[in-house]
Amino acid sequence: MNTMSLTTLERSKTKVNAAALEGLAAQLRGTLLQEGDAAYDDARTVWNATIDRRPGLIVRCSGASDVINAVNFARENRLLVAVRGGGHNIAGSAVCDGGMMIDLSPMKSVRVDVAAQRAWVGPGATLADVDKETQAFGLAVPTGINSTTGISGLTLGGGFGWITRKFGLTIDNLVSADVVTADGKLLRASQTENPDLFWALRGGGGNFGIVTAFEFKLHQMGPQVLSGLVVHPFADAEKVLREYRKALETAPDELTCWVVMRQAPPLPFLPTEWHGKEVLVLAMCYCGDIQAGEKATQKLRAIGTPIADVVGPNPFTGWQQAFDPLLAPGARNYWKSHDLTEFSDNAAAAITAAIARLPGPECEIFVGHVGGAAGRIKADATAFPQRNSHFVMNVHARWREPAMDKACIDWARGLYEAVKPYAAGTVYVNFMPEDEAGRVEAAYGGNYRRLVEIKQRYDPLNLFRMNQNLRPKEGQRAA
């Protein structure tokens, strides 16, 4: 084959000759894949099975030099570019049709400096990679709740999880980042070097370049935490949620408790007669002293008459993987999300009403509580804007058969609309599906205009547009 037809930024086609492709491959420490190569299908497969795209080229990167060469090749040929870290993003932005996929997943290194309490993490690392390495030294960086999530996407969107209330968002613990920008330069971004870029990376997603290394501040924590589930009959939801909100009013930063509503999976600690029935779960983690945690969780654990209470000391690495079986790759997924400044009675009523209409056994609603240390930072200190103590509602439609697409998506959209009158207007960008481009400005609130200006400076071509996109000029729609 003398030439290859590839998709451009404008979604047209361009011809790239074989000599140019051979030249790119010769520059790489990693590998260049095309359709038909043995590793091609594995490389293009992402967590959300509704996403089935076929890149023209996949550059599997081994280091920053591979990223630079891939970015230069894409820019010079005006190719549509997608960037894959963990491939976990709900919108499927890690993979494009016909263009170039820059695959960072081989770059999984995690190095810990115990004395300095710092970790240097490659962009292909998962949360499990980070947790296992840091917890070996009794150290932690706050991340998310699903260990197969990639550190890159999580961090660039903000990053919150079980220990955020104590130690802040993932971005609040980012010290520096090495970034390949659209012009092929490798920059260091920190509070003192390219500080505008550093500000934008902390919540602005993959809009400004490709991070090839993250430097995180670490905290002493673990390896044991008090964590687990308290499972209630869904018939008691109104009372449980009312008491849950009251208990959170005096919760210390070390304590995080989220709500999950769904049909009960066949968990070994649940009586079999509850399997498949609607339940409300309080999932909690206390990241300080275990005995102090027993006292701090008393109010939450005293609510109602639970079916099961399995809260106890657990390895933090194990707790970080507790929800992995419910979030394994390969299922079809669609999410809708709201930030809630308060978990009002009206919002709670709309959410609980939706449980009566669950379209499938894997569909669920979770409500996460974010605040504490993360809520004591100014809204304009980072690109991530929602710094008030708040709740995050994520409507998680999950199913297996394409025939269920409409029912599951309609259910998620219906609940989103029902809760909208009680929502804050902002949204966590990592929870936005691909059909929500119109929500980007609202997601960033007062930080949006500054982000657009920084995007214009670092990526005027909008090379990095496979994301929750910030267009370089207001009113200019990305192709």
Q: What is the pLDDT of residues 382-411, one digit of tens each?
A: 999 999 989 999 999 999 999 999 999 999
The pLDDT-based confidence of 1 (bands split at 50, 70, 90) is low
Type of residue found at 101: M
The pLDDT-based confidence of 2 (bands split at 50, 70, 90) is confident
> What is the biggest distance separating any 2 CA atoms in the chain, rounded to whole angstroms?
71
Q: Are 124 and 85 in contact (CB under 8 A)?
A: yes
Q: What is the pLDDT of residues 98-107, one digit of tens each?
A: 999 999 999 9
Question: Is pTM beyond 0.85 here?
Answer: yes
Determine the CATH number of domain 110-220: 3.30.465.10
Dist CA 165 CA 371 (whole Å):
5
Report the CATH fold assignment for 16-103: 3.30.43
**Residue 164's pLDDT is what?**
98
**Residue 475's pLDDT is what?**
43
How does the average pLDDT of the chain come out, rounded? 96
**Domain residue extents for the chain:** 16-103, 110-220, 224-431
Dist CA 359 CA 214 (whole Å):
40
Q: What is the pLDDT of residues 60-107, one digit of tens each?
A: 999 999 999 999 999 999 999 999 999 999 999 999 999 999 999 999
Q: Which of 136, 135, 159, 156 is nearest to 146 (CA)?
A: 159
Q: What is the pLDDT of residues 284-300, one digit of tens each?
A: 999 999 999 999 999 99
Q: What is the pLDDT of residues 160-194, one digit of tens each?
A: 999 999 999 999 999 999 999 999 999 999 999 99
SS3 content of the chain, % helix, strand, coil (to 5): 35, 25, 40
How would you label 84-119 residue by residue, b for 16+ Cβ within 10 Å and e otherwise?
A: bbbbbbbbbbbbbebbbbbbbbbbbebebeeeebbb
Dist CA 285 CA 162 (whole Å):
6
Give phi and psi for 333, each to the nearest 5.
-135, 145
Helix axes 345-355, 405-419, angle to 10 degrees: 160
**Residue 479's pLDDT is what?**
40
CATH of 224-431, one of 3.30.930.10, 3.30.470.30, 3.90.76.10, 3.40.462.20: 3.40.462.20
What are the residues facing 110 on neighbouring strands? 121
**Residue 37's pLDDT is what?**
96
Supply the DSSP string of 424-471, one letter for each residue: -S---GGG--TT-GGGHHHHHGGGHHHHHHHHHHH-TT----SSS---
Task: Tell me the CA distances in angstroms from 467 to 126, 199, 322, 471, one per residue in order.
Answer: 19, 18, 28, 11
Q: Are 348 and 235 in contact (CB under 8 A)?
A: no
Q: What is the pLDDT of residues 359-368, one digit of tens each?
A: 999 999 999 9
Q: What is the pLDDT of residues 100-158, one digit of tens each?
A: 999 999 999 999 999 999 999 999 999 999 999 999 999 999 999 999 999 999 999 99
**Residue 476's pLDDT is what?**
46
